[in-house]
Amino acid sequence: MAKAKLKQALAQFKGVDQKLERQKRLKKQAEKKKRSKAVDEEVELEEAEDGEDDEEDGGVELDLEAINDSDSSSNNEELTNGAGEDSKDDADGVDGVDGEDEEEEDIPFSDIASIASEDKGDIVPYQRLTINNITALQAAHKRIALPYSKLTFSQHQTITTAEPVTIEDVDDDLNRELAFYAQSLSAVKAARGLLKAEGVSFARPADYFAEMVKSDEHMGRVKAKLVDTAASKKASSEARRQRDLKKFGKQVQVAKLQERDKAKRETLDKINLLKRKNEPDLFDVELEDTATTVKKDRNAKRTSRGGANGAPNKRRKKDEKFGFGGKKRFAKSGDANSSADMKDYSVAKMKGRRGKARPGKDRRAAGRD
Amino acid sequence: MAAVYKALSKTDSKKDDETKTNGMFKENRQRVLMLTSRGVTFRHRHLLNDLYSLMPHSRKEAKLDTKTKLYQLNELAELYNCNNVLFFEARKGKDLYAWMSKPPNGPTVKMHVQNLHTMDELHFTGNCLKGSRPILSFDAAFDKEAHLVVLKELFTHAFGVPKGARKSKPFVDHVMGFTIVDGKIWIRCYQINETEADKSKSIPEGDVPVEEAPKKGRSTETSLNLIEIGPRFVLTPIVMLESSFGGPVIYENKEFVSPNQIRADLRKSKAGRFNRRSEAQIETKSKLGDMGLTTYGGRKNPKDPLDNQVLFA
């Protein structure tokens, strides 16, 4: 036992990872086993291995786990070996996953020419090697799977839909999200029934207050955003309405103007028609005698020079502008006519018989309010 | 310390059961170590924060300095007693990869994260208790293929909050949906909203009078609906390793094209046009040269014996 302890201490000092070491050893064993194919020997070896582990770990708790681990890992080895050589070839570990190495693994299509279009000029298409080691995957699943048959529903709370969700077009956002929603909703309904059956509390009571995932500040922002969008929607619709109204109003105005124009034209046409009807015969011409012609000419000359009453045009204009003749004094003073005017005279006023006395200032002010 | 004691005492009392179940724990015990690599953008960081707020059984760690020695995560997980690791690796400040693993020896899956939208930028009105346990809703397609079965198990472990987890609340008020569309896993998170069904609504539903009677008896008839909380993201599985951050590759997605490849192809397709044009130019030049039409290079025409320069030389 002391020896084992010393060993352990040494290992710790060196920083050796025991589990890794053990895995390596197991791997070697598995290879050896594959070569020899001696099953019995292998079991013996395993047992010896487990014994060693016990000594190294020196714990009872971990013992169980250790056995479990070694069992499962050896199982895996067998499985991977059995699964075929491809997994062995690609078993380079994590490095094989990096981006640079991915490109090395890729192989170009042989029939590029048939696919390549004009634009694809220099692209070399790649095809990834398929690795799908089903046995290893199943083993991995078995290793980590929860014992669902032994767990109550409330312990794992997973629901799988009966039918796979099918979505025709991934880019159709609305239908896609609807399908997700429907999936979750059906799961919730099923889970609710199961939880109720188990007597587990489901919905949060209204008076249960605790910290939420989104803080009040965050929810406030969400609310503000909602209000904002609603307001902007309302404003835009209002603006559209106004625009439509304006457009319509303009149309109405234009229509009205056109109508008015039309009416005007029509009336003018009518008048012209009437005029033409009342017009004397154009060809019924009669000659004037010379005396009247001379008289008319003189008259026309006079009116063109001095207006109707014969005053010269300039004088008339000046009179209009500056006023003409007569005295300006006493224009507003009373005369015989004004004093004889009895329009404003009232007997009641003269006799002091008033209808209603005017109320006092305070009362007037109060009455105004 | 108390938690440790509790855990120990519990395991002691149930040891018989455990041995019966072949060493497997009868309980669902999960703890998730959650961290990112260096070089994440703010959105990646916010996504991590969102997930952290939704998963009370997780532990957030400082950014990991390395992107190559991921096996260090196993030690970190052991240090914090975590049996799940959710590691976000950012590349080139734009691509995000999610690693999900079950240390010490569970499988590891690497996924590409796309269409990432955090709670902050999605103005969803849904909200749920911090630490309430989600219902995990899986698409039936998860049971169709071996790698998807493993993925489903990993999701169940990582995203499902175990019963009695520290800081978890005793109510169920949100649901997480995992759906496979187009070979990708789409993840959504909804709040469960229970409302008392309106009586006016229940009357048209109950067309048959026989059904109406029991409905009236149950006064607490409720209708369920969901309100999305966020975040939204899409995962494309790339590769699966047998052990935790190491071991042989047990699955590799043939259809996955790395974003680097896509970008490179785009660039090459642009370069292709230029190359074609320049090649065509060279070709014309050589053709003209062959016909003896170029000043320099190419074939020279033989001198005409009747040329002026020959005749009168």
A316-347 per-position pLDDT tens digit:
788 878 877 777 788 788 888 888 888 778 87
Choose the weakest-confidence range: A112-116, A149-153, A354-358, B285-289: A112-116
Q: Domain ends where: A184, A202, A220?
A: A202
Q: What is the mean pLDDT of chain B?
A: 85
Residues of B in contact with A213 (CB under 8 A): 50, 53-54, 119, 127-130, 229
pLDDT of residue B119: 93
pLDDT of residue A10: 67
CA distances from B294 to A363, B282, B288 (A): 116, 13, 6
Three-class SS state of A258: helix
Interval B81-86 mean pLDDT: 95
Contact A165 B129 (CB under 8 A): no
Interval A71-96 mean pLDDT: 40
Taking the C-alpha atoms of residue A56 and residue A1, their distance in angstroms, rounded to an integer, is 9
pLDDT of residue A31: 81
Residues A58 and A180 grouped into a single domain: no
Residues A140 and A27 grouped into a single domain: yes
Contact A160 B253 (CB under 8 A): no
Q: What is the ipTM of this complex?
A: 0.79
State pLDDT tens for residues A224-282. Answer: 999 999 999 999 999 999 999 988 998 899 999 999 999 999 999 999 999 888 776 66
Q: Which domain holds residue A80?
A: 1-93+136-145
Residues A8 and A140 grouped into a single domain: yes
State pLDDT tens for residues B190-247. Answer: 999 988 765 544 444 434 343 333 434 344 568 899 999 999 999 999 999 999 999 9
Q: Give me the residues paired with residue A76 across strands.
A: none
Q: Whose structure tokens read 């060493």? A: B23
Residues A42 and A141 grouped into a single domain: yes
Question: A204 versus A36: which is more confidently predicted?
Answer: A204
Selected for mutation to probe chain A from B250, B261, B265, B278 (highest A CB count within 10 Å) is B250
A126-127 vs A107-108, strand pairing mode: antiparallel
Q: Whose structure tokens read 């990993």? A: B154
CA angle B54, B60, B66 (to 5 degrees): 130
β strands within A182-327, DSSP E: none
Q: pLDDT class for A48, splitting at 50, 70, 90? A: very low
Residues A82 and A184 grouped into a single domain: no
Give the nearest partner residue to B140 out of A122, A145, A162, using CB atoms.
A162
Taking the C-alpha atoms of residue B44 and residue B41, their distance in angstroms, rounded to an integer, is 5
* Residue pair B111/B236 in contact by the 8 Å Cβ criterion: yes
Judged against a pLDDT cut of 80, whether residue A42 lies above it is answered with no
Choose the weakest-confidence range: A161-170, A279-288, B137-146, B166-175: A279-288
* Residue pair A100/A171 in contact by the 8 Å Cβ criterion: no
Taking the C-alpha atoms of residue A82 and residue A165, their distance in angstroms, rounded to an integer, is 35
Backbone phi and psi for residue B145, each to the nearest 5 degrees, phi listed first: -120, 155
pLDDT of residue A93: 40
Helix H, strand E, coil C: the string for A92-159 is CCHHHHCHHHHHHHCEECCCHHHHCCCCCCCCCCEECCCEECHHHHHHHHHHHCCCCCCCCHHHHCEE
Q: Domain ends where: A202, A227, A247?
A: A202
Q: Whose structure tokens read 């034209």? A: A265
Residues of B in contact with A217 (CB under 8 A): none
Pick the CATH number of B26-256 from 3.30.1360.120, 3.20.19.10, 3.40.50.720, 3.40.50.10480: 3.40.50.10480
Taking the C-alpha atoms of residue B31 and residue B57, their distance in angstroms, rounded to an integer, is 5
Q: Closest Cα to residue B105, out of B249, B308, B247?
A: B247
Backbone phi and psi for residue A79, each to the nearest 5 degrees, phi listed first: -65, -45
Taking the C-alpha atoms of residue A305 and residue A313, their distance in angstroms, rounded to an integer, is 6
State pLDDT tens for residues A289-307. Answer: 888 888 888 888 766 665 5
Taking the C-alpha atoms of residue B46 and residue B54, their distance in angstroms, rounded to an integer, is 12
Residues A28 and A81 grouped into a single domain: yes
Residues A189 and A140 grouped into a single domain: no
Q: How much of chain B exceeds pLDDT 70, in percent?
A: 84
Contact A119 B272 (CB under 8 A): yes
Residues of A in contact with B132 (CB under 8 A): 204
Q: Whose structure tokens read 């083993």? A: A139
* Residue pair B142/A160 in contact by the 8 Å Cβ criterion: yes
Judged against a pLDDT cut of 70, whether residue A107 lies above it is answered with no
Residues A57 and A141 grouped into a single domain: yes
Residues A86 and A2 grouped into a single domain: yes
Q: pLDDT class for A41, splitting at 50, 70, 90? A: very low
Residues A3 and A83 grouped into a single domain: yes
Residues of A in contact with B46 (CB under 8 A): none
Q: pLDDT class for B26, splitting at 50, 70, 90? A: low
pLDDT of residue B272: 87
Beta-carbon contacts of residue B91 (< 8 Å; ≥ 6 apart): A99, B39, B67, B97
Choose the weakest-confidence range: A43-57, A196-210, B269-283: A43-57
Contact B169 A210 (CB under 8 A): yes
Beta-carbon contacts of residue A138 (< 8 Å; ≥ 6 apart): B146, B149
Alpha-carbon gap: A17 to the closest alpha carbon of chain B (Å): 10
Burial group, residue B172, by CB count within 10 angstroms (0-12, 13-18, 19+) = buried
The continuous run of DSSP H or E covering B223 comes out as: strand B222-228
Residues of A in contact with B141 (CB under 8 A): 164-165
pLDDT of residue A295: 86
Judged against a pLDDT cut of 50, whether residue A55 lies above it is answered with no
**Based on the structure, what is the number of domains in chain A?**
2
pLDDT of residue B4: 56
Burial group, residue B77, by CB count within 10 angstroms (0-12, 13-18, 19+) = buried
* DSSP result, B177-240: EEEEETTEEEEEEEEEEEEEPPHHHHHHH--SHHHHHHHHH-S--EEEEEEE---EEEEEEEEE
Choose the weakest-confidence range: A76-80, B38-42, B307-311: A76-80
Residues of A in contact with B14 (CB under 8 A): none
Q: How much of chain A exceeds pLDDT 90, in percent?
A: 32
Would residue A77 count as lying in a domain?
yes
Selected for mutation to probe chain B from A17, A92, A97 (highest B CB count within 10 Å) is A97
Q: How much of chain A exceeds pLDDT 70, in percent?
A: 64
* Residue pair A103/A127 in contact by the 8 Å Cβ criterion: no
Would residue A188 count as lying in a domain?
yes
pLDDT of residue B54: 94
pLDDT of residue A278: 77
- AA identity, residue A54: D
Q: Name the range with the highest mean pLDDT among A13-22, A43-52, A156-165.
A: A156-165
End-to-end Cα, chain A, rounded Å: 111
Residues A166 and A141 grouped into a single domain: no
Taking the C-alpha atoms of residue A195 and residue A201, their distance in angstroms, rounded to an integer, is 7
pLDDT of residue A323: 76
Q: pLDDT class for A116, splitting at 50, 70, 90? A: very low
Three-class SS state of B206: coil
Q: Closest Cα to residue B80, out of B128, B136, B140, B34?
A: B34
State pLDDT tens for residues A2-38. Answer: 566 777 766 676 665 666 777 778 888 878 777 765 4
Q: Domain ends where: A183, A202, A221?
A: A202
Taking the C-alpha atoms of residue A224 and residue B257, their distance in angstroms, rounded to an integer, is 41
Give the nearest partner residue to B130 out of A87, A163, A212, using CB atoms.
A212
Contact B258 A94 (CB under 8 A): no
Q: What is the mean pLDDT of chain A?
A: 74
Question: A187 versus A18: which is more confidently predicted?
Answer: A187
